[in-house]
Each structure stands twice: as structure tokens, then as C-alpha cells.
Structure 1
Amino acid sequence: MKFYWVIAFLIFTIFTVNAQDKKKDYKKLKLGLIASPQVSWLTSDFSKVENEGSVLGMSYGLMADFFFDRNYAISVSVIRSHTGGKLKYSTGTEPQMNIDHSYVTIQDGEVLRYKLTYIEIPIGLKLKTKLFRRLGYYGQLGLTPMINTNAKTGDDLALIDEIQIGDLGFHFGGGIEYSLGGDTYLHAAVFYTNGLIDITTNDDISDKTNLNSVNLRLGINF
């Protein structure tokens, strides 16, 4: 529910600022809706904890571009992201994990799927080209703070205190936008996010597990 309150507040702020800024020859603030099919995976720096494949997910939310020039903006989004990955725990690890309020030993060679939900707040610098026949291009890079709101296994059993509440990633990407007329644009882009923080909390394994993703961002700005 907090996710929807954040979106409501951001919408109110955007429309308020836009109403106060009618003298610019370009729109200083643009609102957008986005939906992103994505592929995500987990990586560990410990040789006995291996990435065992990627998972498909989806993210969606609201974005706002704060323009300080016609083709330069600070882009801020509020996104709910369904993500995760698979890890294989090899010989000698066998950690105990709190799964559905019971401590379970992960057996040698067992693959554990992580189904994770985050609230992401990507903040980045967006650079745009001028439109040519209604078509333009843009690139963006920045940081993505993330708050974990749910963590489960592949069998939908709760992972209790096994995932850090916060994460931070570095993102970059780019894409195209198409003008529908006026200030309304369709856009599509590919973004890569590289996790910078260990997202796991298990004391039985001293490793750093990062969450990474590639997503196809589709949306509309107005």
C-alpha cells in the first residue's frame, strides 16, 4: 500500500510544479508510465555458490523527468519490481536458512530459487537528441536504491530474515522515443542494472551475492 501512496504524492508534486512553470519554451517536468519485462540473476563471489540461471520478471511504475535544459534531465522513477535468481550450493556449504519460520539445511548440490520483490527508485542523468521526423534517441545512467518488500523460495515459502532490506545498483541504458504530437511520447529502451551490495544475510556463508538485471522498458511520457 505504501507504494501507491508514494506514486500519488509524486503525481501531485509533478502537476503542482508544472502548473507553476508555464513560461518555459519546453516542458520542465514530464510524467511517464512504464512497464518492463526483465531477466534477472544472482552472482556470488564464493566459488561454492554458483549462479544456476536467470528468471523472468516484471516491473512497473511511474517516472518523472526534471528537465534543466531542452535535452537534459534528471530522471526519477518509483517502480515495483518482481525479480530474483537461482543459486546452487555446492559441496561443503550446506547453510541453514529460515524458510517459513523453520530452519532448513540446504543440501549439497541443491538449487534454491529466490523470488524477490523490491520498490526501486532509479535516479539518473538522461541525455536526449533532437527529434528527427518525430523520432529521437536517449541515454541514461545513474543509481538505483532498492527496498525489499517480499522474499520467497520458488515454492512460495517465505524467506525469513535471509534477504537484506536494502540494495543499491548502478544502471545504464538507452533507447528511442516517438512523438505522438505535443508533449506525448512513446518510448522503448534497454537497461542494465548491476547490484553493488550483498543482498543475503546468512552467516553460514561468507560471500557477496549481487542481484543483476536487464530489462526492456516500455512506456509513455506526457
Structure 2
Amino acid sequence: MKKIALLSLFCLISIAGFSQVKLGLRVAPNISLNSVNSEGIYNDLEKDGSSLRFSAGPIADFFFADNYAFTTGLWYTVKRVGLSGTVPANDDSGAQISAKSLYNIQYLQLPVGLKLFTNEVAPDIRIFFTLGGTLDLKLAEKQKDEANNFLYREARNSDRKAFKPVDAGILFGAGAELVMGANTVLFGGLNYNRGLVNSLGRVEYPSGSRIVDDVRLTNSYFSLEVGLKF
């Protein structure tokens, strides 16, 4: 891990050596939602709505040409997970019961991508498009409505976390920049972050079966991003 961190730092320093670098800060309220595919004894599970969450943190754009930049950052992002449906009762009866599971999951996101800029479409205004991905390191998972949260109940009983420590997604975005001075740029845009991996952990039911074997859950969000670069 230390070698990877040092290599990443070396790469960033190398890029900075021959690039124009723009650093900034951004905030991004997001609509967090899930995609659920289930089978087996959990075949009735489905996503349970969506909610407003947020993301914030620094960004860095490394320009290697006037209209092209490598972009990265470090974002604190909260995602919501909601599941509902019928699950096995917490006993040996074999009965199915209606249940829900709600969580807020806090991540430290490392975005990596390419930004493509148009020429000026109006005085001091350019359009940009972003394509890349995110590596998400889980900071915490916060259960909601503990008494009725079936995933939290089974995670506690099996002494495991409900979600994996790492998530990943693909990032699409588009927006505009306004040059406000020699060193200040105001920007805003829309982003879509689509989850790529099953975020559920290895939680077990009393029977010994694992929820992750029957349920695939991915976390995604749409965000409205605004910020300043210097």
C-alpha cells in the first residue's frame, strides 16, 4: 500500500512538472439511488426509493493541452442504500416476512478521469465533458431504523459489516466554466456516478447462506456540482 501511495504521488508530481495545474473546491448535492438484482430465498428484494445526499472536496485539473486535462480529487461522499421486500424470518420456521433495510454509507472517493473542453462558446465561457471512474473507500456505514433493519440485524448477528470496504464506479459529467479573473474560475455541471461492483458484504443468515450470494446491489447517484478553481 505504501509503494502504491508513493508511486501515485510521484506520478502526480511528474504530471504537475509539465502541466498547467488548476486546484479547486467543489460541493455536489446528489440524488442517491440503488440497483438491485435478487434471486434464491431473497428473490423479492428491490430498491426502496432514493434520497438527497451530498459530496464535497478538493479537485485538481492537470492540463496537458489547451482543451484537455487529467482530472482527480478527493471527495467525501455520502450514499444511501434502501432495500425492501420479503426475507426469511429470523427463526427456523421457514416463513417469509416483509422487511426493509436503510443505510447511509460514507465514502472517501478518489476520482480519476479525462476532461475535454470546447473553445469559448461565449466570452470567457467554455463547455467541458468528463469521463472517468471513482475508487471509493468506505469510512463508515450508518444504519437507520435499527429495530426494523433486517440487514443490520443479520450483520450484527454474524459479527460482520453489511457493506464491503471498497466500492468503484464509472463517472460521466458535463458542465461549464466561467473565467472570473486571471486565476479564478467558477464552474458547474451535472455528474452521473454508476456503481460497478456489488457493495454488499459477507453477511450470513442463521442458515449459513450469504445474502451477497443471492443479491447484487450497486450504488449510483446524480449530482449537481458547483465550485471554484484557482
Q: Select the residue among 80, 92, 107 that pairs with 1:118.
A: 107
Letter in 2 for 1:140: T
Structure 2: gaps of 5 or more residues: 91-95, 204-209
TM-score, normalised by the number of residues in structure 2: 0.76
1:130–1:142: structure 2 CA closer, same or farther, 3 Å change rule?
same
Distance in 2 (CA, whole Å) between partners of 1:211 and 1:204 is 17
Q: Displacement of 1:167 after TM fit?
A: 0.7
Q: Does 1:35 align with 2:21?
A: no
Letter in 1 for 2:117: K
Q: Does 1:146 align with 2:136?
A: yes
Letter in 1 for 2:211: D
Distance in 1 (CA, whole Å) between partners of 2:111 and 2:88 is 35
Q: Displacement of 1:161 after TM fit?
A: 1.2
Q: Which residue of 1 aligns with 2:81?
A: 85
Aligned-residue Cα RMSD (Å) equals 2.6
Letter in 1 for 2:55: S
Q: Which of the two has greater helix per residue?
A: 2
Q: Displacement of 1:95 after TM fit?
A: 7.6
Q: Displacement of 1:43 after TM fit?
A: 1.5
Q: Following superposition of structure 1 onto structure 2, how do residues 29-108 of structure 1 map, counting pairs within 5 Å? A: 29-46=21-38, 47-90=43-86, 93-94=87-88, 108=97
Q: Is the 8 A contact 1:95 1:204 kept in 2?
A: no
Moved more, 159-168 or 183-192: 159-168
Q: Which residue of 2 aligns with 1:193?
A: 193
Q: Which residue of 1 aligns with 2:226?
A: 218
4+ residue stretches of structure 1 with deviation over 4 A? 156-160
Letter in 1 for 2:100: V
Moved more, 61-70 or 40-49: 40-49
Fraction of identical pairs, as percent: 27
Q: Is the 8 A contact 2:15 2:62 kept in 1?
A: no
Distance in 2 (CA, whole Å) between partners of 1:151 and 1:95 is 24
- CA deviation map 1:161-203 (0-9, x unaligned): 1100001101101011111021311111100011010000231
Q: Displacement of 1:17 after TM fit?
A: 7.7
Distance in 1 (CA, whole Å) between partners of 2:134 and 2:198 is 14
1:95–1:69: structure 2 CA closer, same or farther, 3 Å change rule?
farther
Q: Displacement of 1:220 after TM fit?
A: 0.5
- CA deviation map 1:70-129 (0-9, x unaligned): 110010010000111211032xx3387xxxxxxxxxx72222111100000111110011
Letter in 2 for 1:191: N
Q: Does 1:204 align with 2:194?
A: no
Q: Which residue of 2 aligns with 1:161?
A: 161
- CA deviation map 1:55-84 (0-9, x unaligned): 211110010011110110010010000111
Query: SS of the residue aligned with 2:97?
Result: coil
Q: Is the 8 A contact 1:128 1:137 kept in 2?
A: yes
Flag the structure with larger Rg. 2
Distance in 2 (CA, whole Å) between partners of 1:134 and 1:95 is 62
Distance in 1 (CA, whole Å) between partners of 2:165 and 2:51 is 21
- CA deviation map 1:27-76 (0-9, x unaligned): 71110101000011122111411011012111100100111101100100
Letter in 2 for 1:45: N
Q: Is the 8 A contact 1:55 1:85 kept in 2?
A: no
